[in-house]
Structure 1
Amino acid sequence: MAMEEKTPVTLGHRSRTLTAEEIEKLSDDKETVSDFKQRKLEEEAKKHWDKFYMRNETRFFKDRHWTTREFEELLGQDFELPSKATGDQPTLLEVGCGVGNMIVPLIEEGSAFRFLACDFSPRAVALLKENPMFSKGSHRAFVCDMTTSQLLEEVPRESVDIVTMIFMLSAISPEKMPTVINNVFSVLRPGGMVLFRDYGLYDQAQLRFKRGHKLRENFYARQDGTRAFYFSEEVVKSLFESAGFQTKENSYVTRSTINRKEGIDVPRIFVQSKFVKPQARYLMQFADGV
C-alpha cells in the first residue's frame, strides 16, 4: 500500500513566510496562561507600565525621528487639516505618549501643532512634563485609561485634527481595543486622521516568546508583566472600520534590526496605517418590520 503523502504546512503572509522550525514552534505553543494570571495582568497593567518607566525613565526607547518620513501629515503635507476651516490652531493627540519619544522631536523641528499627550503610566506622563521642550509650549500631558470614558473628560469631542497611535494598541487586551478606537473617533474632527503603527503578525519578537507567555492567539505577556499583541492587516482594518473610519492606507512594513554583538539580522514586521474620520457619518435606524 502506498504511503499517503503529507501536504507541507505553510504559514505566514505576504511580508513573511515562516520556516518549518518557526511553524513548529508556534504550533506547539498552544497552552495559554491561566485565567487567574490573565486577570491579574489585566488588573495590574498600569502598575507594570509604571514600573517599566520608573526603571528605564527616558533611556529605553529612542526618539522617533522617522515619523515625519513615514507620515507626511505630521509636516502638514498631503493632508488638509480640519482646523484650517475654523482658523483654530491644529491639534495633535498622541495616545500612549510614553516619555515623549515621538512628540519631543516634532517640537524640536518647529511643528505648528499644539500637542496633547496621554499615557496609562503616571510616571511616563511626569517624565514628559519635566522635559523643557514640552513644558515651554501650550502643550498638555495627562494620565488616561483609554479603555474607559476618561479621554472624553480630558479632550472635547471633535476637537483634534490628528491622533497618533504608535506601538500603543498592542498593549491593550483585544476585547477592549474597540473601546479605545471609539474614544479616538469621538475626539477627532470630521476629516481628521489616525496615524497608526504597531507590531505585525510574525514579527521576530512574537516568535521569540517561550512557552508560558501566551495569553491568547497572538497576544503575549512579557517578563516584566507588560503585554503585546501582534496584528494582521485584516484585524487592524476591521477594528477601525467597525468604529466608522475609512481606510486610506493599511499595510505591513518590514525592517531589519542588526544585532552586531551576536552577528544576526533580526526581521521586524509592523502594520502601518492611516484612517480618516468621514466628513459626515450617517447612522440609520430601522424600526421593527421596516
Structure 2
Amino acid sequence: MDQTFVDNAKAILEKDTSTVPDFWQNKYKKEASRNWDLFYKRNTTNFFKDRHWTDREFEELRPGHVFSEQKPVLLEIGCGVGNFVWPILDRNPDVYVYACDFSERAVGFVQANENYNEERCKAFVCDITKDRLADTIPPHSVDIISAIFVFSALPPEKQAAAVLNILEVLKPGGRVLFRDYGLYDLAQLRFKTGHKLEDNLYVRQDGTLSYYFSTERLRELFVEHGGLSELANDYMVKKLVNVKKNLDSERIFVQAKAPIAGTSLDGSAPMDTE
C-alpha cells in the first residue's frame, strides 16, 4: 500500500476515539449467530453473488489440482447460502465439500437448494469458535479449508480457538485458503462514530461484526499460534474510481494460504503440496 494512503487512513481512524459501551459489545458478540440469522431472514439468498472468482485467486481450487490420491475433500467454513459451494461443485466433479455456518437459516438455504446432494456435499450448523468440527468431520481428513470472508465475523479473542478447531480436521499436507477484509479498507474508513468496539473491530447497522486484518495478525493466528507454514500472506488492493465525483478509493483485502509446517499432527511427514 502507498505510504501516503496509509498515513491518511491512520489519521482517519485515530479521530474515532470512542468505543461501544461494554454491555453492547458483549451483546453483539454473544448474539453473532442470531444477527446473521436475521440477516439471512431479510435477504434470503439474494444478497451475495456466487463466487466464480475463487479459482482465479487460488489455483488449489482449479479442476485437476488434486491434493490426495483419492477424492479430494474441501471444507468451507462460513458457507452462507452456498455462493462458494455451487461453483466449486460445478467445476470440480470429483471434489467432496463439507460446508458449515453458525447461521441455522443459512445452512437451511444450502440444504434446500436444488443442487444439494449429500453424495457430494454435507452442510451443517457449526460455530467454529466453540463447536468441535471433528464431531462431524473425521480428524485429519480434509485436503483444503477455505476461509473466505468469515473470520472477520468473529471477535478477535475467539479467532485463535477457531484456528485450532479447523486444523484438527486438516489432513497432513493440507492447505488453508484465506481471504478477508484488510486493514484500512474503504468500509473500515467509512464507519461513523458509535460503531467501533475495539481496534479494527466494528459493528454494522444490522448488528453483525466486521474485523479488519493486518498481515501481521494473520501470521500471529495461523503461523505462530496454529503452527502452519506460511506460503503467501499479502494485501490485495482494488482501486475504485468515481470519475463523476473525481474520487479515488481503495478496497483492501488480505489473502493468504498456508500448509501445515514440519511434521503432521500424527507425527508423519506431510505430503508434498507443490
Query: TM-score w.r.t. structure 2 length?
Result: 0.90
Alignment: residue pair count? 266
Which residue does the alignment assign to 2:51?
64
What residue number does 2:233 align with?
A: 250
Judge conservation of contact 1:185–1:243 (CA < 8 Å) in 2.
yes
Cα 1:174/1:217, change in 2 over 3 Å: same
Matched with 1:270 is 253
Q: Aligned runs of 1:227-238 on 2, under 5 Å?
A: 227-238=209-220
SS in 1 for 2:202: strand
Give runs of aligned pairs for residues 203-214 of structure 1, distance below 5 A.
Answer: 203-214=185-196
Supply the distance in 2 between the matched residues of 1:16 and 1:57 (Cα, whole angstroms). Answer: 41
Given the superposition, is the C-alpha separation of residues 217 and 125 from structure 1 closer, same or farther in structure 2, using an over 3 Å criterion? same
Deviation at 1:199, TM superposition (A): 0.3
Residue of structure 1 in register with 2:33 after alignment: 46
Distance 1:103 1:32, change over 3 A: same
Q: Distance in 1 between matches of 2:107 and 2:204?
A: 22
State the 4+ residue runs in structure 1 displaced beyond 4 angstroms: 19-22, 257-265
Structure 1's 262 and 134: CA in aligned 2 closer, same or farther, altered over 3 A?
Answer: farther
Give the conservation status (yes or no) of the 8 Å contact 1:245–1:278. Answer: yes
Code of the residue aligned with 1:181 in structure 2: it is V
Q: Distance in 1 between matches of 2:82 and 2:241?
A: 25
- d(CA) in 2 for partners of 1:142, 1:165: 16
Q: Quick check: which has more Rg, 1 or 2?
A: 1
In the TM superposition, 1:185-196 aligns within 5 A as 185-196=167-178
1:93 matched to 2:72? The reply is: no
- Structure 1 residues 131 and 215: alpha-carbon distance in aligned structure 2, compared to 1, 3 A threshold: same
**Runs of 5+ in structure 2 lacking a partner?**
267-274
Q: Is the 8 A contact 1:119 1:142 kept in 2?
A: yes
8 A contact 1:249–1:275 mirrored in 2: yes
2:24 to 34, 37, 55: 37
Aligned to 1:152: 134
Call closer, same or farther: CA 1:201–1:19 in 2, change over 3 Å: closer
Q: Which residue of 1 aligns with 2:154?
A: 172
1:2-53 CA distances to partner (integer Å, 9 max, x unpaired)? xxxxxxxxxxxx3564377644431110111111101111111111000001
Q: Which of 210, 213, 226 matches 2:208?
A: 226
* Residue in 2 that maps onto 1:287: none
Q: Does 1:25 align with 2:20?
A: no
- CA distance 1:226–1:259, shift in 2 (3 Å): farther
1:182 aligns with 2:169: no
Q: Does 1:117 align with 2:103?
A: no
Q: Distance in 2 between matches of 1:146 and 1:169?
A: 10
Deviation at 1:215, TM superposition (A): 0.5
How big is each residue's C-alpha offset from its partner over 1:47-72, in whole Å with a ceiling of 9 and x where there is no partner?
Answer: 10000011111111111111010001
Given that residues 190 and 278 in structure 1 are in contact (C-alpha distance below 8 angstroms), is that contact kept between their aligned partners in structure 2? no
| Cα 1:24/1:59, change in 2 over 3 Å | same
The alpha carbon displacement at 1:251 in A equals 0.5
The one-letter amino acid of 1:236's match is L
Contact 1:120–1:145, Cα closer than 8 Å, also in 2: yes
Match of 1:142 among 119, 124, 128: 124
Kindly provide the CA deviation profile for residues 167-200 of structure 1, in whole angstroms up to 9, marking residues without a partner as x.
0001101011000000111100000000000000
Q: How far did residue 109 of structure 1 move?
A: 2.0
Per the TM alignment, residue 139 of structure 1 is displaced from its structure 2 partner at its CA by 0.8
Whether the aligned pair in 2 keeps the contact of 1:190 and 1:279 (CA below 8 Å) is no
How many angstroms apart in 2 are the aligned matches of 1:20 and 1:201?
12
Paired residue type of 1:178: A
Q: What is the rounded CA distance, in whole Å, between the counterparts of 1:134 and 1:274 in structure 2?
A: 28
Gaps of 5+ in 1: 1-13, 284-290
Change (3 A) 1:281 1:125: same
Equivalents in 1 of 2:164, 2:101: separation in Å?
A: 17
